[in-house]
Structure formats: C-alpha cells, structure tokens
C-alpha cells in the first residue's frame, strides 16, 4: 500500500495498472490494406464530412462537461477508496467498494467509491483493497500507564493484587515521567490494534493528556480521586483542586475530554464520592468509576450501607447521565433499572474479569434493560494487554456461555460494543462510533490478506471471530493518520520500548525483587 499527495492515485501493489485509451492509441493497429476496405472508406467519406462538424461539437461539449465537473469538485484532505466500509450507522450499511472522504477532522462523504470520487478532489488518496474499514475502536475503560506493571502480581485475587503489589508499586514509582512513558507504551498497543479513543483512569492525568494529544489519539482522561495518599494528590481535597486546574486547561480540546474518576466505593469515602458527582456536574465533565466488580464489593456494601453499590451511589446522588461505570459484574434487576433510568454507561471488561475471577458480567441483561453498554480492556496489569480485537472476541464468546445460548451476543452486536454502543456508554455517540457524515474521522482498516481472513461470507463474523490485532494496518484519528501500512506515524516505537524496559527494572528494584536473567 502506498499513497501519493496532491490527488495522486494509490494502488494496491497486488493490482496491475490499467491500460488507458491513450496507451491503446499509442500502440495503434495496422489496417488491412484491401481494395474492399479502400472502397468502403471512400464511400463513407462524404457522410463523415456531413456529420464531422456535429461530432466535433459533441466532443467539445463533452470536454466542457468534464472540465466543469472538475472545477466543481469539492476539496478533501483524504479520500480512502476501495475497502468494504462497515459503517455501524443506524441502518448498519455495509458498502462494498466503498469510500470515505475527510476534510479536517470530519467525515464529509461515505458511499460507493465511484460516487464519492466524482464529488471530491483530495490532497491525499489512499486506496485500500482486500480489507474492511471500520469505525475506530473505543476502549471504554483502561489505565494506560499501568502497561509498566504488566505481569506484576499475576494469579492473585483483586484485593491481594491491589494491596500486595499494585498500590505499593505505584507509591514507589509513579511520577509524571513514569506516567508519560507508560501511556506512550499503551498507545502503541492500542493504535496497533485499532483503538482510536480510550477512557483512562489514573494519576497525573494532565501529563497523560499532554502525551495523548502529542500522539493524536482521542481520550476521556479521568483524574483519580482516592481516599488515601496517592502519587499525585495526598487527599481527595487536593485531588479536587488539581481537577479544577486540569479541567480548565483541557476542556473544549478537540481530542482530550477531561474527566473525574473516583476510584470505587470501597476506596473513596461517601462524602468524597458525593463531591465527585457534584463537581462533575458543575464543570460539565464526565465521571468514571469502578462499580460492582466483585461479589465481595457487593457483600461489603450490603453490610455497611444496607444497599448494593449501585443503590449506594444512587443514595449519594452520583448516578447521572455523565457517569460511566466499569465492570458492573454483580448487578441485579433493581440495579439495572437504576442504571438505565439515569442513563449510566457500563463497560464490560471480559479479560480482566476472567483473569481476576471476578465473575461474568450479565451484558445481555444490561442491553435488555436499556443500559448503554461498552467494552474495555482494563489496565494491562490485570489483562495483560490493551488489545480491543481480543475483547470483542471474548465478549461474543463469553456471553454465549454466560447465557448458555449460542445466539446471544451475535457478532454485529459484539462489534457495536466497541464502536457505536461503546460511544453511547461514554456519552459520545454524536461524535464518534460510526462512519457517518458529520462525525469525527476515526477509522481503522483491517486487511483480509492473511489465511485466517478468507473466504469472506459475513463481514461481522469475520471481524469478530477471525481477524486479529495484527490485521490492523491503517488507523486515523480526527482525520490524521496515526498508522499507515502497519507503521506508526506519531510515536517512536523503539525508543518507547527501550524506555519501558528501563522502567521495568526500576519497578523491580523498588520492590526488592531480583531482575529476571537476561535472554540471548
């Protein structure tokens, strides 16, 4: 795959160039010099003389129409032509030999390639064959910088994992520089697997925002509020002061949505949970939280508050349309009614829930109750990757087991969790999540060139059950290419990986753990 500027044509290298009319004319064809043909030509010369003027006029008119059409072509920054376009729009259009035109950060046309190309003259044209163009994937819940804790304290339950490994490691290592490096590492993995937007919950989110903006990704970035001294703020009051400055800096940015992220009901006192909700409404920013992740969380809440975690948040006035809750594994019918009534988005994190044995989230019940449902990876410390393609696969497969129904969570619905429904869970469905005119140009192209990508019968099934992160070749966010033909354009991959190795050695030293032996 190549691209050329100033309207240059990009062709798949597998496709032969086409012979033009001019090529044929140059090649010519020797006439048969027979008496019959000479007589025939002589006979029609008078006729040609009579109609020649009309033919010339017709050709001149044809040239004028072509020139006029060229003169009225609308400008575009990019035109992506040739793939199967899986729009995820309300009609679920799937357009073969499709095209998308982009101007600035916005999609201005979607349709058949011939129709779109007849209307737009792009500065850059990208021809992509033998693949599918989908909306950029939306990772509804993660902790990007925790890629630097990948593999630390595996095979533990949630409470042991947090208190024996993660909280101590964070206290000794997390600084603005550490968070920047971890976020860069996480963005490599997310972009390479087709993610264009992610919801983050961590510390030093102002620094996270800066590196996300530099890389060109889209982020809903939640500054953590927690009830014990954190690496960036020692008290919830300090966190709220930090958040006011953070929101003032980033609110209204084209890529960064600042958010408030009270960690969970078991780590944040009730008054600070309430204040988080009040402040989010005052500042008009999203609210992110972990909710009903484990049975222990529910049992403890019932014992301490005589309410489920969902009911407890409702009693504090925290449930609201700006809230997105991760996990929601242990929810009952009453909880689902409350979540739906308040338009709270819930984010399914199947790999993390499996690894920590938290349980199986009843996602089909969420959907049936009208709860906006998204999909997320959680952090790489509890997953252990940020691969949304894998999460889509797990979502479809595990919900069939959870319901013991092979028709549950069909492929189209699983893809929706990571695209348009995931956008709804983050309350961003008017901006992202589908390939439609007027929405942000957040796109991912998946190749069908590998053995596991053929033959193609159902495009949704192919994406969900067969394709992998390695099939993602091109990624756009806000009309800008972050990956072309498998190569990242805004991140220095070798340098980031080298720095991540250094950070890993730092973490081991801080925990007084010997480094693993070097490998040849």
Strands (E), 419-505: 443-447, 472-477, 480-484, 487-488
- Tens of pLDDT along the chain (520 residues) come to 545 454 433 433 333 333 333 333 333 333 333 343 343 334 433 333 333 333 333 333 222 222 224 458 999 999 999 999 999 999 999 999 999 999 999 999 999 999 999 999 999 999 999 999 999 999 999 999 999 999 998 998 888 888 999 999 999 999 999 999 999 999 999 999 999 999 999 999 999 999 999 999 999 999 999 999 999 999 999 999 999 999 999 999 999 999 999 999 999 999 999 999 999 999 999 999 999 999 999 999 999 999 999 999 999 999 999 999 999 999 999 999 999 999 999 999 999 999 999 999 999 999 999 999 999 999 999 999 999 999 999 999 999 999 999 999 999 999 999 999 999 999 999 999 999 999 999 999 999 999 999 999 999 999 999 999 999 999 999 999 999 999 999 999 999 999 999 999 999 999 987 666 665 4
In contact, 158 and 215? CB cutoff 8 Å: no
Q: Cβ distance 161 to 153 under 8 Å?
A: yes
DSSP strand pairing (84-86 vs 131-135): parallel
Write down how long the chain is.
520
Instruction: Please tell me the distance from the alpha carbon of residue 82 to that of residue 96, in angstroms, as a whole number.
Output: 8
Query: Which residue bears the tokens 């630390």?
Result: 152
Please name every residue paired with 475 in a beta bridge, in sequence order, or none if there are none.
Answer: 444, 483
The DSSP annotation for 97-154 comes to TEEEEEETTEEEEEEEHHHHHTTEEEEEEEE--SEEEEEPEEEEEE-GGGGGGTTTT-
Answer for the pair 81, 113: CB distance below 8 angstroms, yes or no.
yes
Q: How far apart are the first and last CA of the chain?
A: 35
| pLDDT tens readout for residues 216-235 | 999 999 999 999 999 999 99
Residue 5: its pLDDT value, please? 52
DSSP tag of 427: T
- Integer angstrom CA distances of residue 507 from 103, 168, 177, 475: 45, 10, 14, 32
CATH of 136-436+489-503, one of 3.20.20.140, 3.30.160.20, 3.40.50.300, 2.60.40.60: 3.20.20.140
What 174-178 contacts at long range (C-beta under 8 Å, 24+ apart), as own/partner pairs, is 174/145, 174/203, 174/204, 174/231, 174/232, 175/204, 175/231, 176/204, 176/207, 178/145, 178/148, 178/503
- The burial class, CB within 10 Å (0-12 / 13-18 / 19+), for 41 is exposed
**The tokens 């973490």 sit on which residue?**
507
> In a 10 Å sphere around its CB, with 0-12 CB exposed, 13-18 middle and 19+ buried, how is residue 38 labelled?
exposed
> Strand pairing partners for 430?
none
Q: What is the pLDDT of residues 64-113, one digit of tens each?
A: 222 224 458 999 999 999 999 999 999 999 999 999 999 999 999 999 99
Contact between 136 and 105 (Cβ < 8 Å): no
Mention every residue, 6+ apart, whose C-beta is less than 8 A from residue 312: 265, 270, 301, 305
- Cβ proximity of 278 and 270 under 8 Å: no
User: What is this structure's pTM?
Assistant: 0.86
Would you call 481 helix, strand, or coil by DSSP?
A: strand
Neighbouring CB atoms inside 10 A of 52's CB total 10
Whether the Cβ atoms of residue 414 and residue 387 lie closer than 8 Å to each other: no
Separation between Cα atoms, residue 467 and residue 388, nearest integer Å: 12
Instruction: Assess whether the previous peptide bond of 384 is cis (omega < 30° from 0).
Output: yes
Exposure string for 400-423, b = 16+ CB within 10 A, e = fewer: bebbeeeebbbbbbbbbbbbbbbb
Residue 515 gets which letter from DSSP?
Answer: P
CA distance 239 to 262: 10
Considering only CA atoms, which of 315, 216, 310, 202 is closest in space to residue 259?
202
């Amino acid at each position: 795959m190549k691209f050329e500027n100033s309207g240059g044509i990009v062709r798949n290298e597998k496709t032969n160039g086409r012979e033009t009319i001019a090529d044929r004319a140059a090649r010519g064809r020797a006439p048969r010099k027979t008496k019959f043909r000479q007589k025939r030509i002589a006979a029609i010369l008078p006729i040609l003389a009579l109609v020649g003027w009309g033919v010339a006029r017709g050709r001149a008119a044809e040239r004028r129409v072509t020139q006029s059409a060229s003169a009225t072509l609308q400008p575009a920054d990019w035109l992506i032509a040739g793939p199967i376009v899986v729009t995820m729009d309300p009609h679920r259009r799937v357009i073969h030999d499709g095209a998308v035109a982009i101007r600035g950060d916005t999609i201005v046309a979607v349709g058949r390639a011939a129709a779109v190309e007849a209307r737009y003259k792009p500065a850059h044209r990208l021809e992509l064959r033998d693949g599918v163009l989908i909306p950029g994937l939306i990772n509804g819940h993660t902790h990007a910088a925790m890629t630097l804790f990948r593999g630390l304290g595996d095979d533990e339950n949630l409470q042991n994992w947090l208190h024996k490994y993660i909280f101590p490691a964070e206290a000794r290592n997390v600084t603005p520089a550490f968070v920047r490096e971890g976020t860069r590492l996480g963005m490599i993995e997310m972009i390479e697997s087709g993610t264009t937007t992610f919801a983050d919950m961590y510390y030093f989110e102002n620094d996270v925002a800066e590196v996300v903006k530099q890389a060109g990704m889209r982020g809903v970035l939640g500054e953590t509020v927690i009830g014990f001294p954190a690496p960036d703020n020692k008290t919830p009051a300090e966190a709220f002061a930090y958040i006011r400055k953070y929101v003032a800096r980033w609110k209204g940015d084209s890529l960064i949505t600042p958010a408030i992220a009270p960690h969970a009901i078991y780590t944040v006192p009730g008054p600070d949970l309430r204040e988080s909700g009040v402040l989010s409404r005052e500042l008009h920013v999203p609210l992110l939280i972990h909710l009903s992740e484990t049975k222990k969380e529910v049992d403890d809440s019932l014992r301490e508050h005589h309410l489920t975690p969902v009911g407890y948040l409702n009693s504090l006035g925290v449930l609201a349309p700006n809230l997105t809750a991760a996990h929601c594994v242990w929810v009952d019918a009453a909880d689902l009614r409350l979540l739906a009534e308040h338009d709270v988005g819930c984010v399914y994190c199947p790999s993390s829930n499996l690894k920590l044995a938290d349980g199986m989230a009843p996602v089909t019940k969420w959907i049936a109750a009208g709860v906006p449902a998204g999909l997320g990876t959680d952090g790489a410390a509890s997953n252990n990757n940020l691969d949304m393609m894998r999460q889509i696969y797990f979502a479809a497969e595990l919900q069939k087991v959870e319901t013991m129904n092979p028709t549950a969570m069909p492929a189209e619905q699983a893809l929706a969790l990571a695209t348009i429904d995931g956008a709804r869970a983050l309350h961003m469905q008017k901006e992202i999540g589908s390939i439609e005119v007027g929405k942000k140009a957040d796109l991912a192209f998946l190749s069908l060139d590998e053995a596991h990508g053929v033959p193609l019968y159902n495009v949704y099934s192919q994406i969900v059950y067969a394709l992998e992160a390695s099939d993602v070749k091109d990624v756009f966010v806000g009309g800008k290419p972050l990956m072309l033909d498998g190569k990242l354009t805004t991140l220095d991959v070798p340098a980031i990986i080298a720095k991540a190795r250094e950070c890993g050695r730092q973490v081991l030293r801080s925990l007084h753990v010997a480094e693993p032996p070097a490998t040849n």
